[in-house]
Amino acid sequence: MGSLNLHIDIDTNSGFCFGVVYAIDMAEEILDEQKYLYCLGDIVHNDEEVRRLENKGLKIIDHEILKSLTNEKVLIRAHGEPPSTYKLALENNLELIDASCPVVLKLQNRIKKSYDKKESIYIYGKHGHAEVLGLKGQTQDEAIVFQGLDELEVKNLPKEITLYSQTTKSVHKFHELTSSLREAGIEVKANDTICRQVSNRDAELQNFAKKYDTIIFVSGTKSSNGKVLYQVCLSQNPNTHFVSNVDELDTTWFSQSSSVGICGATSTPMWLMEDIKNRILTF
């Protein structure tokens, strides 16, 4: 036990969302039966968890490598994939273990229906993000993806657009965007397709962050949802620190603290938050 007398709590609502739990459970089940499994892209945007699974035999591959594989099993992670991936799997006799999140699959179907109706589809999301590529793929890549209004020439937009959102975006920002577009005279058919497990975290973390002297927010740097939720904590508590692993902890953060709250993204494993707590206890 260290010299700092700290009260440390881990947020019970933090940790993997059900989509990630589902994908990881599936991967572990197969890895228990066979010694390796291919996974298309990082199974979760958390390097520490990816490393743990790679040690069990998970092999992370990209689309280039996928093209050269035949007669193998390949896991599709929670983010989902565009139709082209399924087509390639048929051609190369690949067995896809589909762990696409049900929330994402439902959204893919909705976008496909809008596309079939010839609507002008806009997606509020991060360029190049795995989920976004899967969504855009439902529209033969015709949907316009944007991260902020500054990317759209509003005066040149169609008079009517259908707006969707990547599932891990901020609900508040989505509604702000919708209002701005409507104020500019555009008829927006807005579909708030943000996952409620993610958006509820927003409100929960606002309350959690206020309760402690110091907040340690644990997330991989690649996690979109981690960036959003870190900002939520920071807005409520200026003593919020972002870390990806135990080595990034700094003893000076805790000298004036008596209470510490540890929380994380929907891609942050609970074991990592436990490790962080145990390391702080040694300070």
Q: Please, are residues 79 and 134 in contact by the beta-carbon 8 Å criterion?
A: yes
Model pTM score: 0.93
Per DSSP, helices labelled H in the chain are 18-33, 47-54, 63-68, 83-91, 102-116, 130-136, 171-183, 196-210, 224-236, 270-281
Report the pLDDT value the prediction gives residue 264, as an integer from 0 to 100.
98
Kindly give the interhelix angle for 196-210 and 224-236, rounded to the nearest 10 degrees. Answer: 30
The alpha carbon of 164 is separated from its chain's Cα centroid by a whole number of angstroms, namely 16
- Residues 38-48 pLDDT 10s: 999 999 999 99
Catalytic residue numbers read 131
Q: What is the pLDDT of residues 181-200, one digit of tens each?
A: 999 999 999 999 999 998 99
Task: Tell me how far CA of residue 137 lies from CA of 15, 81, 112, 238, in angstroms.
Answer: 29, 8, 9, 40
* Distance in angstroms (rounded) separating the CA atoms of residues 115 and 178: 20
Structural domains of the chain, with CATH:
7-15+197-281 (3.40.1010.20), 18-101 (3.40.50.11270), 103-194 (3.40.1010.20)
Show the low-confidence residues of the chain (pLDDT under 70): 1-3
Angle between helices 18-33 and 102-116 (to 10 degrees): 110
pLDDT, one tens digit per residue, over 201-238 is 999 999 999 999 999 999 999 998 999 999 999 999 99
Residue pair 264/14 in contact by the 8 Å Cβ criterion: yes
